[in-house]
């Protein structure tokens, strides 16, 4: 385990608790930033979670913190998102990025909420894999067990939040990239409704916008506060507001329980047990639960792979223009190369695949006329050890492993529905296991209320509780 929790200015506070401590002057912004930097320098030797830091700039920001609810709270931006003064490397060694002259829309939104950025976090190459492993570089490690992956693609963000370096970090999600690492690292991770939160241009301009930006946190209230404050910076008038959600809801809900994945892969025993135990607790709390089939077409897994692979083809073909003149496709890993070949080979299928993916929102909309939410495992099996998804393997082996593991989360990226992963238990080897809730577009508040309720019913396992708060 890698634990940075200690009795410094951060303690074991979440982001909301930290804002309260700074407002009451129990700690200063400078002390908080110094503590986060110290924790990062200690932890990242083991975690390898930071792509590039801006510690000196963060200390300067701390002297004149921007206003906003999260004023002075340290955080990180994922390295597929633009932050002024730093390159956007996309998790790949295939080019050498140059510093960006301006913030992207995500960074501007986070700065407007008062966050101080300590740097950028690592991800799998272009976010394609569920594990941030590389052919040459060190992988991002799980702070609960350093021999296991932290999930991906928002791998570095999850590792840093779970280890206590920062209480909250930016993440984005195109097939589960917030929710997968949340489950692996015992965190709360919500993918918002399509078009709820700002995104950078590269994701806004997708033919079907599957990527949504959010955060990884250790508490439901931090995720709820982030969505509330993000909405004050940017509000999509086409969606009902999330509002200020601060606890469980009173209405009892009808929840469909999906046990096995859309791909047909059976969920492993440990995840099945955690899921059913969670379902039992929700039913005991008065909710009505029924086992159902996932609201997805039989072709969904193939359709999503067809669409997902087109982004690899795009980067492979347009890398010198879209990324940097130094881009060399020969330096891409086997997963990216394999996805690009898949897209090229099956290009004739794309119009129909894209059409069916677009139609996913109508399939789930019909489902939500009968049910208020869906409960599933977040992942298909326990968090794998490092090496399981290392991209030096042949493409067919890698993609089969990914589909078996990441089998529940892509549906909401296609449908645009919100979804949240929350911690629900630990495996026999002490690794976190998450459960996954989704609802109709625009109903983040319902999911947050359910997540608050689960947090009360079965308090989340926390790394600090298992290793104990260290004292200096």
Q: Which domains does the chain have, with CATH numbers?
A: 15-467 (3.90.1300.10)
User: How would you label 261-289 residue by residue, b for 16+ Cβ within 10 Å and e otherwise?
Assistant: bbbebebbebbeebbbebbeebeeeebeb
Q: Residues in the chain, how many? A: 472
How much is the average pLDDT of 314-318? Answer: 96
Contact criterion met (CB below 8 Å) for 373 and 424:
no
Question: pLDDT band at residue 2, thresholds of 50, 70 and 90?
Answer: confident
| Residue-level pLDDT at 471 | 34
| Gap between the Cα atoms of 110 and 168, Å rounded | 11
| Residue-level pLDDT at 456 | 97
Q: Other CB atoms closer than 10 Å to residue 158's CB: what's the count?
A: 35
Sign of CA dihedral 203, 205, 209, 213: positive
What 3-state class would DSSP assign to 123? coil
For residue 8, pLDDT over 90 is answered with yes
Give Rg (Cα) of the chain: 20
Q: For a pLDDT cut of 70, what percent of the chain falls above it?
A: 99
Q: For a pLDDT cut of 90, what percent of the chain falls above it?
A: 95
- What is the overall mean pLDDT for the chain? 96
Contact criterion met (CB below 8 Å) for 332 and 316:
yes
How much is the average pLDDT of 58-74? Answer: 97
For residue 421, pLDDT over 50 is answered with yes
Instruction: Indicate left, alpha or beta for 309 from its phi (over 0: left) and psi (-120 to 50: alpha).
Output: alpha
Helix (H) or strand (E) segment spanning residue 76: strand 74-78
What's the pLDDT tens digit per position in 167-210?
A: 999 999 999 999 999 999 999 999 999 999 999 988 888 999 99
Two tokens at 296?
Answer: 């997805």
What's the pLDDT tens digit per position in 249-261?
A: 999 999 999 999 8
| Residue-level pLDDT at 411 | 98
| Residue-level pLDDT at 406 | 96
The model's pTM: 0.97
| Residue-level pLDDT at 236 | 96
| Gap between the Cα atoms of 13 and 22, Å rounded | 11
Residues taking part in catalysis: 78, 153, 177
Instruction: Indicate left, alpha or beta for 130 from its phi (over 0: left) and psi (-120 to 50: alpha).
Output: alpha
| Residue-level pLDDT at 469 | 47
Eight-class DSSP state of 296: S
| Gap between the Cα atoms of 268 and 5, Å rounded | 32
For residue 40, pLDDT over 70 is answered with yes
Please report, for residues 190, 291, 293, 349, the alpha-carbon distance to residue 216 in angstroms, rounded to integers and kept in the order given.
Answer: 8, 29, 29, 35
What 3-state class would DSSP assign to 307? helix
What's the pLDDT tens digit per position in 389-419?
A: 999 999 999 999 999 999 999 999 999 999 9
For residue 116, pLDDT over 50 is answered with yes
| Gap between the Cα atoms of 291 and 273, Å rounded | 14
What's the pLDDT tens digit per position in 226-239?
A: 999 999 999 999 99
| Residue-level pLDDT at 467 | 60
Contact criterion met (CB below 8 Å) for 140 and 48:
yes
Beta-carbon contacts of 108 under 8 Å, excluding residues fewer than 6 positions away, are 198
How much is the average pLDDT of 420-426? Answer: 98
DSSP-H helix ranges across 164-299: 179-185, 201-204, 220-233, 269-284
Place of tokens 């891409």: 332
Place of tokens 């099956």: 346
What's the pLDDT tens digit per position in 128-164?
A: 999 999 999 999 999 999 999 999 999 999 999 999 9
| Residue-level pLDDT at 149 | 98
């Amino acid at each position: 385990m890698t634990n940075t929790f200690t009795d410094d200015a951060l303690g074991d506070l979440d982001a909301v608790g930290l804002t309260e401590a700074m407002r009451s002057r129990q700690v200063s912004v400078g002390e908080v930033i110094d503590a986060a930097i110290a924790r990062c320098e200690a932890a990242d030797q083991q975690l390898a979670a930071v792509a590039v830091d801006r510690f000196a700039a963060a200390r300067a920001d701390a002297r004149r913190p921007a206003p906003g609810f999260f004023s002075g709270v340290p955080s990180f931006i994922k390295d597929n998102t633009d932050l002024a003064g730093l390159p956007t490397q996309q998790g790949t060694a295939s080019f050498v990025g140059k510093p960006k002259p301006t913030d992207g829309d995500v960074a501007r939104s986070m700065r407007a909420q008062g966050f101080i950025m300590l740097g950028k976090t690592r991800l799998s190459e272009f976010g394609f894999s569920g594990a941030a492993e590389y052919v040459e570089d060190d992988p991002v490690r799980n702070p609960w067990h350093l021999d296991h992956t932290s999930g991906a693609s928002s791998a570095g963000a999850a590792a840093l939040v779970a280890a206590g370096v920062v209480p909250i970090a930016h993440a984005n999600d195109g097939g589960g990239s917030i929710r997968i690492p949340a489950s692996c690292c015992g965190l709360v991770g919500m993918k918002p409704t399509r078009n709820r939160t700002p995104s950078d241009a590269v994701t806004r301009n997708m033919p079907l916008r599957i990527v949504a930006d959010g955060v990884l946190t250790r508490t439901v209230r931090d995720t709820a506060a982030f969505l509330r404050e993000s909405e004050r910076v940017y509000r999509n008038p086409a969606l009902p507001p999330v509002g200020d959600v601060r606890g469980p809801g009173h209405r009892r809900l009808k929840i469909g329980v999906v046990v096995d994945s859309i791909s047909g892969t059976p969920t492993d025993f440990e995840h099945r047990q955690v899921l059913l135990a969670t379902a039992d607790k929700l039913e005991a709390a008065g909710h009505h639960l029924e086992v159902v089939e996932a609201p997805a077409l039989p072709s969904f897994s193939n359709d999503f792979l067809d669409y997902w692979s087109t982004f690899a083809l795009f980067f492979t073909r347009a890398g010198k223009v879209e990324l940097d003149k130094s881009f060399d496709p020969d330096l891409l890993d086997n997963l990216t190369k394999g996805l690009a070949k898949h897209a090229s080979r099956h290009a004739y299928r794309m119009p129909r695949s894209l059409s069916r993916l677009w139609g996913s929102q109508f399939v789930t909309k019909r489902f939500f006329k009968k049910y208020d939410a869906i409960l599933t495992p977040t992942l298909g099996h326990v968090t794998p050890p490092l090496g399981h998804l290392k991209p030096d393997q042949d493409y067919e082996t890698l993609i089969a492993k990914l589909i078996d593991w990441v089998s529940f989360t892509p549906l909401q990226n296609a449908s645009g529905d919100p979804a949240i992963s929350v911690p629900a238990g630990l495996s026999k080897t002490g690794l976190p296991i998450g459960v996954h809730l989704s609802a109709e577009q625009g109903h983040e508040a319902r999911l947050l209320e359910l997540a608050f309720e689960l947090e009360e019913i079965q308090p989340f396992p926390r790394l600090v509780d298992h290793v104990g708060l260290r004292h200096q």
